[in-house]
Amino acid sequence: MKELSVFVDESGEFGSSSKYYLVTLLFHDQSVDVAPIIAGHVQALKQSSLDDVQFHMTPLLRGHEYYASMELGDRKRHLARFLAFYRRLPVTTFTLSYTKSKFPDYKKMLLRMKRDLTVYLFDHLDYLQQFDRVKVYYDGGQHEVSEMLHAAIEYSLAREAIMFRDAAPSDYRLAQAADFVCGIELAALRYSSHESTQTDAIFFGGSSAFKKNWLRHVRKKAAK
Between the alpha carbon of residue 10 and those of residues 88, 97, 167, the distances in Å are: 22, 10, 13
Domains of the chain: residue spans and CATH: 3-219 (3.30.420)
pTM over 0.85: yes
Question: Which residues, in sequence order, are bridge partners of residue 26?
Answer: 7, 93
Query: For residue 163, is pLDDT > 70?
Result: no
Mean pLDDT of the chain: 91
pLDDT in tens, 33-86: 999 999 999 999 999 999 999 999 999 999 999 899 999 999 999 999 999 999
Better-predicted residue by pLDDT, 66 or 95: 95
The torsion angles phi and psi of 37, rounded to 5 degrees, stand at -70, -40
AA letter at 41: H
Outline where DSSP puts E strands in 37-160: 92-99, 133-137
Residue 23 three-state SS: strand
pLDDT in tens, 105-136: 999 999 999 999 999 999 999 988 888 888 88
